[in-house]
Structure 1
Amino acid sequence: MRRLGSVQQKVSCVFMTEVKEEPSKKRDRQPFHVVATAILNPAVLEADISSALATEKLDGTCCYVTHYKGKPHLWARLDRKANKQAEKRFKKYQYSHRSSKGFTWNVEEDFKAVPDTWIPAHQVKHHNGLPIPDEHGHIPGWVPVEDGNKQYCWHSSVVDYSTGTALVLRPTANNDYDTLEIAAVPLTDLQEQTLELIGTNINGNPYGLGCKKQPVHLLVSHGSICIQNLPLVDFQQLYSWFCSNDEGLVEGIVWHCGNGSLFKVHRHHLGLEWPAKDTHLGNKPAFVRVCGSAVAAGDGSKSLLASFSRLNGHCFSHLRDIHFDS
């Protein structure tokens, strides 16, 4: 089985990029944006992109499963960011140089405090024992998702620590990538994986999951949603695929290479809009496989896992059609 890369750091574009002197559609108040050129990133050839596994880039928030207090636990992404003064200094430098290269940080003074439970992401570089920010001025990291923490209530809704399970969206057991299943998966099976949390209250809900009255959130392991009919890694061919193929109604593509390297292309890299009016993921049928044993005894009947357990065996024609009878 191919080893899928863990998304601990920012993923490089499959193409070389350049800066355009136009307001960014992705980042507010950024007076320029980054676009892909037709030139392949040299690292792509070294990683043998031709044999890489192409998967859907999902629009959500990144999570991580690793131990906390001796048990497998869900962690939320929390990048340590600069304080206002340092951020202003960084943005001014970035604007004048069109790059962050050469900027000097004082890590002890320039960054906001983080919870004591915070840990830096894998591969974050350190200097004098302190983690160093990346080119975006962030120090990627994680905090454990604990029950009762309102800031991470949507993360909490997809895990049940008393039974050690998580609510996961994945291809069906026979690897039919045209049909999805919603399953209660042991956290031990997800150990050291990164996943994307998608749903009603995440990033504007591009996949149409649930509603405010009945929010639906799901975890998706990175690299689990494969793309079946992708053309060669060529700018024009990929542009046409995004524009004219139903399977191209995705935020982007992530390639998982045999050496563990990851590369991506986002619709914004190609000058294309996102979110799309419709999505390939939202149109897929979804089968519910959440049995009652995955829900803790005495668990509130309104919990998300309990709601899905009452739908065990039900198949929805489209993922976006999921609903719970009142």
Structure 2
Amino acid sequence: MRRLGAVQHKVPCVFLTEVTEERSRKRDHQPFQVIATEELNPVALESNVDCAVATEKLDGTCCYVTHHRGQPHLWARLDRKPNKQADKRFKKHQHSHRSGKVLFPVQFRCSGFEWNLEEDFKSVPEAWIPAHRVKHHGGHPVPDDHGHIPGWVPVETDNKQYCWHSSVVDQDAGVALVLRPRAQGEDLLEVALVPLTELVEQTLELIGTNINGNPYGMGSKKQPVHALVAHGSLLLRDPPPVDFQQLRSWFQESPEGRVEGIVWHCNDGTLLKVHRHHLGLRWPPAEPSLSARPVVVSVPRTTEGLHGPFPSFSRLNGRCFSRLPLVSFHPEAP
């Protein structure tokens, strides 16, 4: 299987969208909803989305692997946001320029608003870097249409804010815990120990017990379970055509459709997505399709010196669990 491109920030919806006055069901701080129309995004047509590879969109937090201090390193998502005064000005401008129907790619067209790129944004750690495709002006990264500058910060073990990120990597040993499809089994997943060198310049999703309300039912408060999933690694076997009504029916009726959304990887490198919320559907369902898949643990017993859950996973090496939520370090786990 060819390696798919890393998921970029602000992946556009495969359909044109419109803004409603209802409060978002996905983001508590967002006083509006973005709903898909039945009209395909022109970019989808230009990129021949019908021939794209459809993959599962996961509900977690985005991560990135690139070099830091000369070694492959896990980075966490950290957007640089406006300070209080600039944010107040920006929201006032948004409100005065708000329109009901919005065409790709923005949710608010805020032409005419001017940022002071040196003074309007909160400080970030010295090691912070802007995400790929962030535009620059005069040597400064430019905010997106939401007023944020997407970026990354290296995960350090002594930073409690990123303790769950730290739990899935050992930076000194250069390894990570990755949930991925098992090569020999069509539906079988595996938790594997993967060298960070194999993940360089990839984006991944951190999922698990303490991430986004744990929609996949992984672990427990006493025994949390987390893992990284490479973007584009979970292929959809029989995705529906890119048609509003057929997609909506697939999300509602197909066992494979119990996913947060779909990301299409087009042959020209373009990425497009649709989220259940775009179609007015609830997330998560009673049992997401990922949760229903069997999982085998492939973490060899050569984990001496590794921290956190690595030794516990190594004791489960070779164990197969019938469903993802059953992966447990308890000796009586099925």
| TM-score bin (small chain) | over 0.9
Counterpart CA distance in 2 for 1:11 and 1:190 is 21
Q: Deviations over 1:73-122 (max 9, x none)?
A: 10101110111222222222223322242122112111110000000111
Secondary structure in 1 matching 2:119: helix
5 Å matches for 1:128-147?
128-147=138-157
Question: Match for residue 234 of structure 1?
Answer: 243
Identify the residue that residue 56 of structure 1 maps to in structure 2: 56
Matched, 1:261 2:270: yes
Residue 321 of structure 2: aligned partner: 316
1:298 matches 2:305:
yes
4+ runs of 1 displaced by more than 4 Å? none
SS at match of 2:201: coil
Aligned to 1:193: 202
| 1:120/1:131 contact within 8 Å kept | yes
Tell me the alpha carbon deviations over residues 249-308 of structure 1, each in whole angstroms, 9 at most, x when there is no partner.
110000011111100000110011112221000110000000022x2x3345xx211110
* Matched residue SS, 1:34: strand
Measure, in 1, the Cα distance between the counterparts of 2:92 and 2:317: 54
Quote the residue 1:32 is aligned against: 32
1:74 equivalent in structure 2: 74
Distance in structure 2 (CA, Å) of the matches to 1:167 and 1:3 = 19
Tell me the alpha carbon deviations over residues 19-73 of structure 1, each in whole angstroms, 9 at most, x when there is no partner.
1122221222433211000000001111111111100000000000111111111
The Cα offsets for residues 207-254 of structure 1, whole Å up to 9 and x where unpaired, read as 000011000110000000011111110000000000111111110000
CA contact (8 A) 1:160 1:166 kept: yes
Alignment of 1:180 onto 2:189: yes
Kindly tell me: are residues 171 and 29 of structure 1, through their superposed partners in 2, closer, same or farther at Cα, counting changes over 3 Å?
Answer: closer
Q: Over the residues paired in the alignment, what is the CA RMSD in angstroms? A: 1.3
What's the secondary structure of 2:118's corresponding residue?
A: helix
> Which residue matches 1:158?
168
**Contact 1:60 1:197 survives alignment (8 Å):** yes
Distance 1:100 1:207 in 2: 36
For 1:134, give the aligned amino acid: D
SS in 2 for 1:38: strand
The Cα of 1:3 is off from its aligned counterpart by 4.2
User: 1:253 & 1:8 partners in 2: Cα distance?
Assistant: 14
CA contact (8 A) 2:93 2:110 kept: no
Q: Where does the alignment leave 5 or more consecutive residues of structure 1 unmatched?
A: none
Number of residue equivalences:
321
User: 1: CA distance between counterparts of 2:22 and 2:95?
Assistant: 12
> In 2, Cα distance between the equivalents of 1:67 and 1:179?
31
Deviations 1:149-172, CA, capped at 9 Å, x for gaps: 111110010011232110000000
Question: Which AA in structure 2 matches 1:38?
Answer: E
Q: Secondary structure at the match of 1:292?
A: coil
> 1:12 aligns to what SS in structure 2?
coil
Matching residue's letter, 2:320: C
Q: Indicate yes or no: 2:257 matched with 1:248.
A: yes
- State the alpha-carbon separation in 2 of the partners of residues 126 and 177 from structure 1: 43
Does residue 115 of structure 2 align to residue 105 of structure 1?
yes
Which residue matches 1:168? 178
- Residue aligning to 1:217: 226
Is the 1:24–1:32 contact (alpha carbons within 8 Å) kept by the matching residues of 2?
A: yes
List alignment gaps of at least 5 residues for structure 2. Answer: 99-107
Percentage of identical aligned residues: 66
Alpha-carbon distance in structure 2 between the residues aligned to 1:177 and 1:133: 42
2:101 paired residue number: none
The residue identity in structure 2 corresponding to 1:91 is K
Q: Distance in 2 between matches of 1:157 and 1:287?
A: 19
| Preserved contact between residue 63 and residue 204 of structure 2 (Cα < 8 Å) | yes
Q: Is the 8 A contact 1:168 1:182 kept in 2?
A: yes
Quote the Cα distance in structure 2 between the aligned partners of 1:274 and 1:260.
Answer: 28
Equivalents in 1 of 2:186, 2:93: separation in Å? Answer: 45
After the TM superposition, which residues 9-24 of structure 1 pair with which residues of structure 2 at under 5 Å, given as runs? 9-24=9-24
Q: Would you say the 8 A contact 1:100–1:136 is kept in 2? A: no
Q: Distance in 2 between matches of 1:240 and 1:30?
A: 27
Residue 2 of structure 1 contacts residue 258 of structure 1 at CA under 8 Å; is this kept in 2? no
Corresponding residue for residue 282 of structure 1: 291
